Structure 1
Amino acid sequence: MAAAKKIKNKVTSKKYARYKSGVGDGFCPKCGPGIFLAKHKDRQTCGKCGYTVFNTK
Structure 2
Amino acid sequence: MGKKPQKEKAPKPQIGKHYQEGKKKDSTCPKCGEGNFLAEHHDRLHCGKCGYTRWKK
Please indicate the TM-score interval, normalised by the length of the shorter structure.
0.5 to 0.7
**Which residue type is aligned with residue 27 of structure 1?**
T
Q: Which is greater in Rg?
A: 1
* Unaligned stretches of 5+ residues in structure 1: 1-12
**What is the percentage of aligned positions where both structures have the same residue?**
50
Whether 1:15 aligns to 2:12 is yes
1:44 maps to what in 2?
45
- SS of 1:44's partner is strand
1:7 maps to what in 2?
none
Q: What's the TM-score, normalizing by structure 2?
A: 0.62
1:9 maps to what in 2?
none
Q: Which runs of 4+ in 1 moved over 6 A?
A: none
Q: What's the TM-score, normalizing by structure 1?
A: 0.62
2:35 maps to what in 1?
34
Deviations 1:13-49 (A, max 9, x none): 6722xx2213414100000111000001110000100
RMSD across aligned C-alpha pairs, in angstroms? 1.7
- When the two structures are aligned, how many residues end up with a matched partner? 42
- SS of 1:15's partner is coil
